[in-house]
Amino acid sequence: MDAADAGTGGSPGSGHRALPDTTLEDVQAAALVVDDDGLIVAANGAARSMLGRSLAELVGQDAHDLLHRDGHGHVVPRTRCRMRQTLLAGSTGHGDKEWFSHGDGTVLRLSWLVTPYALEPGATGALVLLYEPQRHEAHPGGAGASTPLTELDRLALLAETTTRLTSTLDVDEALHRLAALTVPRLADWAVIDLLTERDEVRRALVVEHKEGVLIEREHLQGPMPPVPAESPMPLSRALRGAASSLAGPATYQGEPDSGIAVEQRRLFTETGMHSAAIAPIRGLRDVLGALTLGRSQRPDAFTAADLPLLEDLTRRTGLALDNARLYQRQRKVAETMQRHLLPQLPMVPGVEMTARYVPAPHASFVGGDWYDAFALAAGVHSLVIGDVVGHDLDAAAGMAQVRNMLRAFAWSRPKAAPGAVVTQLDEAIRHVAEVPMATMVMAKLFLGDDGLWHLHWTNAGHPPPLLVTHDGRARYLTDAHGLLLGTGVALPRSDAVTVLPPRSTLLLYTDGLIEAPHHSIDHGLDRLRRHAAALAHRPLGSFCDLLLEQVRPPDNDDDIALLALRTPSLSEGPRTEGP
């Protein structure tokens, strides 16, 4: 044995940090300790034996570069390595059946568990446990029976459950992830019942493992009878928050004491489960539901020794579902607020008009982008597209202030030019509204004496309107461009007027449609112009939907508002006096 193999840490003169007063030899699994840069600082005998390397060959090396491989023996790219990401993030994570380099040049298929680890006062790192993946052995009777989970398997399962369930805020996705974590590792069936906010029960998911895949049994899902207050049956008790328990077909063979007992008898009959373990899913304040794991193919029955692990799983599930439900409630409130803030479009005889709003994907589903359209006088309508800085509740509140003030100023001065109205709004924003900065285009739409629709507009620092003719020619209306709102600089605002040709499309939009982190604004404007020209013949609603689908940057993190209108042919439009 090398002299370096005598201990678990590097020697004092090696230049690497030792691991004082700590030994890993009591850990039966292969264990490595790495510092916060991912460098190995200690390794126990089990790790050295498994990896075929001496301590001197391990300590001081980057754990990822030295050990982690793909199935062909190549180094896993750092950007795709979940183990390295977990190490550097200082979090707990788990990976199953990945490849690691052996000292003789071969590769081993191992599972890993990473958890934060204190090296010494003021120094942090991580403990890495490597172990062979759980094997499934054929049972003499033909059914697949798994070997019992080791303590390391249990820790790995709990770590993976925490990581996977807390990484989604979608309730249905969290339930499917829970099923995939427990089936077939622990059972052949996973059944999840949830309590709604009105204390109604819904069988949200029933999943079976069959021939290597998970199959959702939708005919067993759906509404359930109410929870009886006094029933001693296992599922009823779990849904009331009682401790976990075991069940089998015989449990529900007697006279049913409730509708839930009838449904449970049906479940055992149709799934063929001979053994089940049932545990409550508890949130921070309330019982959220229950998890039932059932065995039908493997012959071994659940025992009381399995219940603590099941309760640990459901405890983590409850916290994840609590977070997901809170997020969905906030999202629903935000969407309702945004829906009420954005207006109904007016009916303009002869003119088609439509709008779209897409919230920022990673924000609160509300934001500062808005559109507006309202009548000013007979035959005259105001069109507005705007963007208050931000995409959160503060931006949405600021947007509501700006929109309401603009409406009031426009209504009080129906014959004023858009530039004059926006100037008045800019002055009010600086003294009244709690809005840092905003951009907008305000326009008047009216029918001229020539029988054509005219647009009279001003632009306060906003992307220019796009005009697309029916034959596919597209140009930006770049005139009347001025400073954005809220700068404190008082400069005159200009106005411009143009004729909208028959059957042409006018598009007002916010910058989320054209801006992307890795492309210039000019690139986004050119992309929008080309796609809009190609879609000029499409119905107006389809025109907007396809623009959002084809033009919106894939890495966009901003909300988007669109306001589009299409003028009629000469024979369709009514004649009305202009302003």
Whether 82 contacts 98, CB under 8 Å: no
Sequence letter at residue 474 = A
For Cα atoms 128, 129, 133, give the angle at the middle one, nearest 5 degrees.
135
* Amino acid letter for position 572: E
Q: b or e along 29-67 (b: 16 or more beta carbons within 10 Å of the residue's beta carbon)?
A: bbbbbbbeebbbbbbbbbbbebbebbbebbbbbebbebb
What pLDDT is recorded for position 19?
A: 46
Angle, in degrees to the nearest 10, between helices 418-431 and 393-412: 130
Helix/strand/coil (H/E/C) assignment for every residue in 222-272:
EEECCCCCCCCCHHHHHHCCCCCEEECHHHHCCCCCCHHHHHHHHHHHHHC
Phi/psi for 260 (5° steps) reads -65, -40
Q: Does domain 342-566 have CATH number 3.30.420.10?
A: no
Tell me the backbone φ, ψ of residue 95, rounded to 5 degrees.
-135, 150
pLDDT of residue 145: 46
- pLDDT value at residue 368: 72
Select from 529, 469, 525 the least CA-distant residue to 499.
Answer: 469
423 token code pair: 């100037």
* CATH H superfamily, domain 149-329: GAF domain (3.30.450.40)
Q: For 220, which DSSP code?
A: G
Omega prior to 184 cis, within 30 of 0: yes
Helices and strands, counts by H and E, the chain: 13, 26
Q: Which two tokens stand for residue 5?
A: 């193999």
Q: How many residues does the chain have?
A: 579
Which helix (H) or strand (E) segment holds residue 109: the answer is: strand 107-120
In CATH, the architecture of 3-133 is 2-Layer Sandwich (3.30)
> What is the mean pLDDT of each successive set of 10 residues along the chain, which is 579 residues long?
42 41 69 89 90 92 89 80 81 83 87 82 82 55 53 81 84 91 92 89 94 90 92 93 92 88 94 95 91 93 92 92 81 64 82 88 62 90 88 68 89 92 90 78 94 95 96 95 87 94 96 86 94 95 93 78 92 50
Report residue 25 as tokens.
């030899």
Domain map (residue ranges) of the chain: 3-133, 149-329, 342-566
pLDDT at residue number 295? 95
- The reply to whether domains 149-329 and 342-566 share a CATH topology is no
> Residue 162's pLDDT is what?
85
DSSP letter at 502 equals T
Place of tokens 């070997």: 147
E-strand spans in 121-198?
Answer: 123-131, 136-138, 144-146, 189-195
Q: Are 343 and 373 in contact (CB under 8 A)?
A: yes
